[in-house]
Amino acid sequence: MRFSIFWAFNYTCILDGCGMLPTVPNPLVEHVGYEQGDALLNEIHAKNATVASSMPDHYALLKQMAHAR
């Protein structure tokens, strides 16, 4: 299931950055709930950690690039 929460309410991101969130919550977020979003973010975080652990660190990457020349 895909929801585009901020497309219709993109001003919410700007207000949040200014520290002024609206007092009325976004109806879509209230309908979907936070649990589903938290679960998806945790899944993305786990995938990112897996991919990052398979990559070289910066020093190893720079060393590899220098030897490739």
pLDDT tens, position by position, 4-51: 555 555 677 777 778 887 777 767 666 666 787 789 889 999 999 999
Q: Is 12 exposed, middle or buried (0-12, 13-18, 19+ CB in 10 A)?
A: middle
CA distance 29 to 57: 38
Q: Which carries the bigger pLDDT value, residue 58 or residue 30? A: 58
The predicted structure's pLDDT at residue 1:
47
Q: Tell me, yes or no, if the pTM score tops 0.85.
A: no
At residue 9's C-alpha, the angle toward residues 44 and 3, to 5°, is 40
Residues with Cβ within 8 Å of 9's Cβ and at least 6 positions away in sequence, in order, are 26
The Cβ of residue 39 has, within 10 Å, a number of other Cβ atoms equal to 10
Q: Which carries the bigger pLDDT value, residue 54 or residue 8? A: 54
Expressed in angstroms, the distance from the first to the final Cα of the chain is: 46
